[in-house]
Structure 1
Amino acid sequence: MDALELLLNRHSNPRLVEPAPAGEQLDTIFKAGLRAPDHAALTPWEFIVFEGEQRHALGNILAEAALAKGEAPDSIEKARNAPLRAPMIITVVAKVKPHDKVPRLEQEISAGCALMAMQMAALALGFNGIWRTGWFAFDRSVHQAMDLTDEDQIVGFLYLGTPQVEVRKLPERDTAPFVRYFGQ
């Protein structure tokens, strides 16, 4: 797939089934993530993979967080089952490092760029995915269960797999409402 075609037609697909990327394909996806903009070569990322039975472990982490937050029983069960919607979930974490010239926000954006690059690589390889965040990404108990530090920040959960259905083509957007030329 041509790079511009990929970028201009990017879309998420929440209906994912086996197979998930594996082996060389998965390694290619990780390599794409490692090419994200990275000021001062801090490599401020970590990719935590949940596949197979480990998706149940992630579901339990999310359900425990929902229970602790006082969510309703149906929300707790929804959290428990969320990771089962795809054969693989990659949690992308900003591993923020103290640096005089690279602020926290820039490192978090870098991790977000890594996540998008991985999603684009998955699409180019014939897979699809959806980037989910939600309050779980900011919940300290979720962070603790994944052995993250207080400086770490989950930037998203990348659900990956084979598209179960073809998604409709998104309408093209007019760029004018989003672009402003300074001084004009």
Structure 2
Amino acid sequence: MLDALALLKTRRSVKPDQLSGPPPSPQDIDTMLSIASRVPDHGKLSPWRFILFEGDHREEAGAAIASAYAAKYPDATGDQIYFETNRLARAPLVIAVVSSPIDSPKIPEWEQRLSGAAAAMNLLLAAHALGYAACWLTEWFAYDAQVARAFGLDKHEAFIGFVHVGRFEGTPEDRPRPALADIVTRFEA
């Protein structure tokens, strides 16, 4: 297992179509979700939840995505529909992170959504720590009302993203990172 700094320095996203099986074990999934849940959560509201897409259910979910795509694009080709049907079948496991804000007079919805984003990031880190590769995506269907209904989201909920998890042989390529001088300022009154 990697030490904490090595873990943080080496986490990379791997494209879903580069992920292979076997999928994480049930114990590893529980570990990932437990770690994902250990995030800043002002008010202890747990304003997020997870939806797992595993096995053949990935294709069933893909059928709902393809249906929404066909409704949006009636002239879609068979190849496009096929691609949409397989959106969640590219990786052995896909975990949707759902923002589910709680009505609270003290905790703004924005803070609750940020807590859910932190859960998605912890999920990526937990997968990496366990030796898996992962990618957090929000593709068009993350914003589609028909897909949200098909996946059981309530009207007040929204997808934070879909975390694709699997195995990757080799070392993922790193992408250019911003120079600290370009993104850091120091406040001076």
What displacement does 1:66 show? 0.8
For 1:75 and 1:109, the matched residues in 2 are separated by: 33
Amino acid at match of 1:53: D
Q: String of CA shifts for 1:26-56, please: whole Å, max 9, x gaps.
A: 1110111110111100001111101100000
What displacement does 1:103 show? 1.7
For 2:125 and 2:51, the matched residues in 1 are separated by: 18
Instruction: Determine if the alignment matches structure 1 residue 167 to structure 2 residue 168.
Output: no
Aligned to 1:63: 66
1:8-27 equivalent positions in 2, closer than 5 A: 8-14=9-15, 15-27=18-30
Q: Is the 8 A contact 1:93 1:153 kept in 2?
A: yes
Amino acid at match of 2:8: L
For 1:10 and 1:171, the matched residues in 2 are separated by: 14
Amino acid at match of 1:10: R
What displacement does 1:173 show? 4.1
For 1:11 and 1:142, the matched residues in 2 are separated by: 28
For 1:77 and 1:103, the matched residues in 2 are separated by: 41
Amino acid at match of 1:62: I
Instruction: Determine if the alignment matches structure 1 residue 95 to structure 2 residue 96.
Output: no
Unpaired runs of at least 5, structure 1: none
Instruction: Determine if the alignment matches structure 1 residue 105 to structure 2 residue 105.
Output: no
Among all aligned residue pairs of Structure 1 and Structure 2, give the percentage whose two residues are the same amino acid.
Answer: 37
TM-score normalized by structure 2? 0.91
Bigger mean CA offset, 68-77 vs 9-18: 68-77
Bigger mean CA offset, 86-95 vs 22-31: 22-31
Aligned to 1:3: 4
Aligned to 1:31: 34
Amino acid at match of 2:69: A
For 1:111 and 1:172, the matched residues in 2 are separated by: 24
Count of equivalent residues: 184
